[in-house]
Structure 1
Amino acid sequence: MMRRNGFVYTVVCSIMLTNLWTPEARSQQYSTNTDPKPILRRLINAFRTCGPPHAYQILGPQLYQTIFMQTGGMGCYQQITAAGSVTNMQVEDVEQLPAGPIFTVRVTHQSGFLVDWFIGFSNYTGKVEYLTFVAASPASPAPTIQDGPTGAAGTSPVGIPTNQTAVISGADSDCAAKWGTMCQ
């Protein structure tokens, strides 16, 4: 039932895409009981080895575009590649935000490098919508949601920044400034 001008096809695709993003159609509900480690492990491995491509499908569109731009379309980060494979992961903190939970996870790599990850899951999209990492040291305290992403020596996060940090209408301004779209 596709017309030559593609109008019917376009309308059907638009309706299908719209339905994929409605709360009723989401495939995953996340809570503070969700274990973020399997998803984060897959993403870290993808950022370390530049793939496989399906590993990035859990990322929200804006976050995916940010990563694409930062990595020149390759999908991997030099810092993570140099750190080596993951040898240990420990969930340090979790908080339920309006859009879904955000977790802090301390990761130890094969090289001994410690990294604190902040990963936010959206119940609106069923995707990872927030992701950033900062270098840590054995002497640094465990990361908390309250403190947000700061590095081992109080440095700013490196790697994947928030995709939106503007104050979101109707959201708590402190939350929105720190966690962006997770506070909608």
Structure 2
Amino acid sequence: MASHEQRLDAAVDTLVDEWADVIPGLDRDVRAIAARIARIDDRLRAGVGKILDQHDLSDNEFRLLAGLMRSGAPYRCAPSDLAGRYVPVTSGGLTGVARRLETRGLIRRCAHPSDQRSMLIELTAPGKELAMAAMEQFAAVESALMNGLSASARANGNAFLRKLMLSIEMTLP
């Protein structure tokens, strides 16, 4: 009887075979890499989704809170700095995300100290607490998903994925 691991790997091989039957000359390695990345993404999103649900956060709300945490003390940024860098939305799109978090008391808007026309977004104490808890849970899920790999395998995988990501980013307009 095949192990769960063998069945999952066979599923990717079957998928690649099916694609190759339809598309002559298909680069089977490329299709297999893409299929495995998609499966990994599904698993990461499922784990993260549970955390976001537990904290009643959308993906962009989590990204905004985590972005403010990552910005360092005093955990305050201009919306234009958050948009794109920490949250994959425009500064206009960030307004709705920020409004929902502000309503929950997780962030507040405050005056920019050197530009009276601008506002900053700042984590509140409850926002910092929630962001830290969610980020710690997020890191724990990632660690649990990778615990079957040796340190060497993780380093090699990271090096490969870095090259792949840069290659993909360089081909996009």
Verify same fold: TM over 0.5.
no
> More helix per residue: 1 or 2?
2
TM-score, reference length from structure 1: 0.27
> More strand per residue: 1 or 2?
1
Q: Which entry has the higher C-alpha Rg, 1 or 2? A: 2
TM-score, reference length from structure 2: 0.28
